[in-house]
Amino acid sequence: MKILIKNGICIDGNGNPPVRTDVLLCGDTIEAIGNGIKADAEVIDAAGMYITPGFIDIHRHADSRPMVDGRFGEIENLQGITTVVSGNCGLASVPINPNGSNMQDMVDFLQPCLGILGRNAVFNDYKEYREAISRSVLSVNFGFLVGTGAVKAAIKGFSRSAFSKEEMRLAQALINSGFDNGALGTSSGIMYPPECYSSRDEFIQLLAPVSDRDGLLCCHIRGEGDSLLLSVEEVIDIASKAGCRLNISHFKATGRRNWSSLIHQAAELIGNAREGGLDVSCDFYPYDCGSSTIQSIIPPSCMKSSIIETAAYLSTKTGIEHLRSVIDKKDNAWDNMVESIGWDRIIIGSVDNDDQRLLEGLDFHIAAKSCGMDEVMLLCRLFSENNGKVGVIVRSMDSHDVDFVASLPYSSLISDALYGSARFPHPRLYGAFPRFLREYVVEKKILPIERAIYKMTGLPASKIRIRDRGLLMPGKKADINIFSLDKFVDKATYSKPTELAEGLSYSFINGKMTVKDGVWLGKDAGTFINI
């Protein structure tokens, strides 16, 4: 069956100016683009509306969603997202041995990011993971990265020690297996255990298989606050010596004293590396609040070799007093959110303990007061009584810094959406992509629409090397959105974060209509994406 979209304003995804033209779809492919196309086809009149490639979110923590959520794809596709990439920040649901000694520790660690992981949502190897994805009903296209943090945890748990020679061989073999089973690249989370204990040399050696494949490393750097410059320099050095292409994940500067300054200096480091021949880029989300797990606000000196051990330690007088002695101290080797932004800018997003659900949505200062204790005691109680399964939202950024990153020619849009809570997630889960258009094109007028669409389509596709999507061109896959810019809007806010985006007139994935007049049709239209 053919579909002819007539009279629309086409934005090709390459950054070129809009052009009024027609688009003909044949099956899962774009057959022709031009004026006055004649064909025996179903006709959609897109007069006054934009026709764009489907949006590509290369940073979404959706690793297990196709296997556990029958409506996976709805909140994504209503934002215009047609392709998602999981396995980011080194955090992934594979490889995890369901019968391994550290299985529960990893599941607890990942829950604030990936959601509840039952035995049907963790996978011992990449072949098993790929087969599970392929068996799932995919309402959007789905690809994955090899999370090197998950690889290290599979071999060493949360140990602080470096890989032995044999362990390094096993880790490299796992990365190769990921690529053999369709991985689009790798990701690291140097901020998180166990990768925060790894040296530069260990990372360089670990990434040898990525270099062999001319692969991409998407990296959550070691620090985004006081140590931002050192952290950017570190990962540029790692990528250069390992021979990897590099994308710095959710590029930002956190902490009040760093606003309006460090992000510009960090961008200079990236610019210098690019001029020197390194393929390095970054991505961002269009909010001045971030979201993470409670582990991100626990000083490394208070962390033990497992989440369960850390939870036990923070339930003791010794552990509480240890945390109290360091939580308000500046640490050049670690981003101390409490010290840099304050308790009142750290919001409890999700908890696992039903008895503490009323604390969700409150900042630590208000929550502690309501519980009749100070913030340190509340932090220890939350960690120990939830085994670390707590999500937090941190109001850590300056909006002008976000605007600056959005304007960089090599920055692409992401959501960095977490799936750990149904009640108080970060609103980027539901609205990042239409929010970007609303704020940066319509309201702030920072970017023309063709540049904004490029950051959501052609640019991320080229980074991840998805060669058949991201552009409106004959021969490309028919992933397409149609919308009026004044009607396509995000509705999710921090107080009402689960409101669905509105106003997308049509969306097609592989030529199948998946959204019509703002209603998700929920078709089995997606496919597994690999290079």
Q: Is the pLDDT of residue 292 over 70?
A: yes
Banded pLDDT at 412 (limits 50, 70, 90): very high
**Among candidate residues 37, 48, 12, 7, the one with its CA nearest the CA of residue 483:** 48
> SS3 letters for 360-427?
CCCEHHHHHHHHCCCHHHHHHHHHHHCCCCCEEEECCCCHHHHHHHHHCCCEEECCCECCCCCCCCCC
- 119-149: b or e for each residue (b if 16 or more CB lie within 10 Å)? eebbbbbbeebbebbeebebbbbbbbbbbbb
Residues of the chain with CATH 2.30.40.10: 2-53+477-487+502-520
In 3D space, the residue among 523, 485, 469, 438 whose CA is nearest the CA of residue 54 turns out to be 469
- pTM (predicted TM-score): 0.94
Cα 117 from chain centre: 18
pLDDT tens string 383-411: 999 999 999 999 999 999 999 999 999 99
Count CB-CB contacts under 10 A for residue 1: 10
How much of the chain exceeds pLDDT 70, in percent? Answer: 100
Q: What is the pLDDT of residue 355?
A: 94
CB within 8 Å of 410: residues ≥ 6 apart: 270, 274, 280, 281, 282, 459
CB 463 within 8 A of CB 530: no
Q: Is the pLDDT assigned to residue 101 strictly greater than 80? A: no
CB 219 within 8 A of CB 247: yes
**Per-residue pLDDT averaged across 491-503, rounded?**
95
Architecture of domain 56-288+397-462: Alpha-Beta Barrel (3.20)
**CB-count exposure of residue 108 (10 Å: 0-12, 13-18, 19+):** buried
Mean pLDDT computed over 375-389: 96
d(CA 404, CA 411): 10
What would the CATH number be for the domain defined by 2-53+477-487+502-520? 2.30.40.10
Model confidence pLDDT, tens digit, residues 436-456 = 999 999 999 999 999 999 999
CA dihedral (499, 505, 509, 513) positive or negative: positive
Q: What is the CA radius of gyration of the chain?
A: 22
pLDDT digits (tens, 9 = 90+) for 8-53: 999 999 999 999 999 999 999 999 999 999 999 999 999 999 999 9
Residues 132 and 122 sit within 8 Å (Cβ to Cβ): no
| Per-residue model confidence (pLDDT) at position 55 | 99
**The pLDDT of residue 422:** 65
The DSSP line for 341-363 is H-GGGEEEEE-S-GGGGGGTT-B
509's tokens: 């994935």
pLDDT tens-digit series, residues 312-363? 999 999 999 999 999 999 887 788 999 999 999 999 999 999 999 999 999 9
* Span(s) in the chain for CATH 3.20.20.140: 56-288+397-462
Q: Which residues pair with 346 in a beta bridge?
A: 394
